[in-house]
Structure 1
Amino acid sequence: MKRQVKPIREGNSEPGTVSLFSIAGIKTLLQFLRLGKKSGALLSMAVATAIYTWFYQWEFALGVTVMVLVHELGHVAAARQKGIPVTAPFFIPFLGALIMMKRNPRDAATEAYIAMGGPLVGTIGAFVSFLIGLFTGHSLFYAIAYIGFTLNLINLLPIHPLDGGRIASSVTRWLWVAGAAGGLFAVIFLKSFLFFVLWALFVWDLFSKYIVHRGKAAEYSCWGKIEVPFDQIPGENWMLIPFSEREPLPYRTYSDMDGKQWVDINWEEADVVHPVKMQEQGLIRSVFSTKVERRWQQTPKVVVLRYQIDYEPHEIENYYEVPEKVRWRFGISYGALAIALFVLLDLVQLMMNEQGGFFHSLRK
């Protein structure tokens, strides 16, 4: 049984939605700013802050962005301590931000350590905002702290891909069942469609992994395309000969120094070797063509080969084997942090109520 995942995005793929700026324009802007690899993070941070400012005053919008940034920097610091390279944070308005690990951790304990870094440092950042409000009397800092505590508490829910779901894997995977039940209450409380989608995907993943595919490996599929200009196709009469479809394609696979798996697809009829970066490590089962298109009316004229890669995700056999002491350490830390966040939320709520409530704090 196959579970479909998103198609692999190639550099020459067409955007699926209309945007205000072209991709070339954005690249030009980033080159102009000369911000290097951090340009995407800074630009997304600025965009998120601007969107928040549209709904709230700029001081609160900036404070929320800082709370999210502190949380993500906690992940970055923890990942560096474990020697795992990560990307710069990318901000997504009203969803927070994310970082991507450039190399997968080798065990659940390492994954949990990196996951714990975000809520731990994020809670410290929110507590600093609370203290500033306490000593200055500015209720705006209470509102910022309230958002910070809430974001970090939600992230502790034992649901993948939230931090709590990754921490739970080092304690006991039965917490995922609790997350499936508790997540439903969170959906009802938050009344968020996006959180409902996240919860539904998590529940389906559990059902698929431990019930549908129990005892056997699940097979995944991904898709992409290869575009070759007409003038690069070898031969004189190639346009009269139909290209093969639904046929196996020769390939070779390997991993680079960052732990990323690549598949070099050999399209022999077009004399092209096309590299594809896989979304995750896996055992390649087959690579074959699904469709060939001749695009005569565009410039330059190209032939497009659409392909499909079937693979089984690689899982380390002893990935979830965590020493008992480490399990207790993560379990106690996880529970203590959750309790602390509940207490701090109640405390900051009390302080805001004394000054007129959350929205009154925003108007001050």
Structure 2
Amino acid sequence: MKRQTKQNWSIRRAPGAVGTFLLARIKALLRFLQLGKKSGALLSMAVATAIYTWFYQWEFALGVTIMVLVHELGHVVAARQKGIPVTAPFFIPFLGALIMLKRNPRDAETEAYVAMGGPLLGTIGAFVSFLIGLVSGHAMFYAIAYIGFTLNLINLLPIHPLDGGRIASTVTRWLWVAGAAGGLFVVIYLRSYLFFFLWLLFVWDLFSKYVMYRGRTADYSVWGKIEVPYEEIPGEDWMLKPFRENVELPYRAYSDMEGKLWVEIEWEEAGAVKPVKMLEQGLIRSVTGLKVERRWRQSPKMVVLRYQIDYEPHENENYYKVPNAVRWKFGLGYGALAIALFVMLDLVQNLMASEGGFFQSLRK
């Protein structure tokens, strides 16, 4: 390994210093504009664009960010059409972006509808970029369209948590098997450790659900902690008594209006009650207090209880029951969109080849 000179080190460090400066200014601007919950989305979008700009010219970087934004807005529009509230898109550089549903879909058809919205609107956005390049003669728009078509095609792979995996649940769950097999070839082609990790999780989930635990349900666990300040603990002699560990705690489970499962844990010895929002619906098996810690060196002084919630995920037997007409509708739409993306990718690649290739197109 070659030793870097101080001059080279300073040059490499400059982007980090500039990025830190820009982040501080952007945060101050967002606070000034009082953008509230949208500030995180705008900030992450600005950061993603800035990082892309470090590797490519700013016009291309902005175009890629817009392609990702259009894809996510497709999910937002589809979710709102189904009456499901969602979060603003959050951008993750080189990974895309994500939105979170604030309420679970009531059935596989609704889930597929929301999933289809992203690739559909994203493909339209990429096609608009392609048309702009065709009319204006600027090859850079071909490169932006290429990224857009590629992004949406990859998302159509029938692998959870990609959009294609959610659409496949409405068409036929056998597509998941095809996704498990085809996903390995995509991993080899992309040489992406992250995609390999997603593929591995998907394959393990299929194996555990349909092979390891077929015909029976698997129990899951979540962990957390309850923190109680010293002054809020009832009784004057509690310091002289040890808190019990590895014991079951009383709890109350309920669902809110948005269909989220909550577990209200009661730690009687410390006089504390903590509500915990679960990631999914399920049957609570037990809540156990594992270990108690006395943090008397910090301020304020705290007593901390580590707990474990064991539960069995709830599987709605009617969730995947979809009318045949709906299966055909999503199947034909899914296939037609995939074919259209393949055709457009081939066309854009040929146009970029005539311009000298992808990177040469960025300079035009």
* TM score, norm. by length of structure 1: 0.91
Secondary structure in structure 2 of the residue aligned to 1:293? strand
- Distance across 1 between alignment mates of 2:63 and 2:315: 40
1:33 positional shift: 4.0
1:60 positional shift: 0.7
1:26 positional shift: 11
Q: How does 1:274-353 map to 2 (within 5 A)?
A: 274-353=274-353
Secondary structure in structure 2 of the residue aligned to 1:274? strand
Q: Alpha carbons of 1:29 and 1:238: their partners in 2 closer, same or farther (altered >3 Å)?
A: farther
1:334 positional shift: 0.5
Secondary structure in structure 2 of the residue aligned to 1:217? coil
Secondary structure in structure 2 of the residue aligned to 1:234? coil
- Distance across 1 between alignment mates of 2:222 and 2:298: 26
1:126/1:146 contact within 8 Å kept: yes
1:28 positional shift: 8.1
1:106/1:316 contact within 8 Å kept: no
Amino acid at match of 1:142: Y
Q: How does 1:145-160 map to 2 (within 5 A)?
A: 145-160=145-160
Output one character per residue of 1:180-219: Cα deviation in whole Å (capped at 9) or x when no partner. Answer: 0000000000000000000000000000111111111111
- Distance across 1 between alignment mates of 2:135 and 2:311: 57
The reply on whether 1:203 has 2:203 as its aligned counterpart is: yes
The reply on whether 1:126 has 2:126 as its aligned counterpart is: yes
Secondary structure in structure 1 of the residue aligned to 2:299? coil
Q: Quick one: percent identity of the two aligned structures?
A: 80
Output one character per residue of 1:239-264: Cα deviation in whole Å (capped at 9) or x when no partner. Answer: 11110111011111111112211111
Amino acid at match of 2:363: R
Secondary structure in structure 2 of the residue aligned to 1:304? strand
- Distance across 2 between alignment mates of 1:321 and 1:299: 55
2:26/2:43 contact within 8 Å kept: no
1:363 positional shift: 2.2
Q: How does 1:33-48 map to 2 (within 5 A)?
A: 33-48=33-48
Amino acid at match of 2:266: N
Q: Alpha carbons of 1:65 and 1:255: their partners in 2 closer, same or farther (altered >3 Å)?
A: same
Number of corresponding residues: 342
Amino acid at match of 1:155: N
| CA RMSD, 1 decimal | 1.6
Output one character per residue of 1:67-95: Cα deviation in whole Å (capped at 9) or x when no partner. Answer: 00000000111111111111111111111
- Bigger Rg, structure 1 or 2: 2
Secondary structure in structure 2 of the residue aligned to 1:125? helix
Amino acid at match of 1:159: I
Matched with 1:16 is none
The reply on whether 1:103 has 2:97 as its aligned counterpart is: no
Q: Alpha carbons of 1:319 and 1:273: their partners in 2 closer, same or farther (altered >3 Å)?
A: same
- Distance across 2 between alignment mates of 1:132 and 1:78: 26
- Distance across 1 between alignment mates of 2:220 and 2:51: 37
- Distance across 2 between alignment mates of 1:160 and 1:299: 44
* TM score, norm. by length of structure 2: 0.91
Amino acid at match of 2:47: V
2:234/2:271 contact within 8 Å kept: yes
Output one character per residue of 1:18-72: Cα deviation in whole Å (capped at 9) or x when no partner. Answer: xx89xxx999885444111211111111111111111111111110000000000
- Distance across 2 between alignment mates of 1:242 and 1:317: 46
Greater length-normalized contact order (CA 8 Å, ≥ 6 residues apart): 1
Amino acid at match of 1:224: G
2:27/2:43 contact within 8 Å kept: no
- Distance across 2 between alignment mates of 1:327 and 1:230: 58
- Distance across 1 between alignment mates of 2:181 and 2:137: 40
Secondary structure in structure 2 of the residue aligned to 1:102? coil
- Distance across 2 between alignment mates of 1:330 and 1:37: 34
- Distance across 1 between alignment mates of 2:361 and 2:97: 25
1:102/1:258 contact within 8 Å kept: yes
Amino acid at match of 2:129: S
Matched with 1:81 is 81
- Distance across 2 between alignment mates of 1:154 and 1:285: 39
- Distance across 2 between alignment mates of 1:302 and 1:336: 59
Amino acid at match of 2:112: A
1:102/1:259 contact within 8 Å kept: no
Q: How does 1:83-232 map to 2 (within 5 A)?
A: 83-232=83-232
Gap regions ≥5 residues in structure 2: 1-19
Amino acid at match of 1:174: W
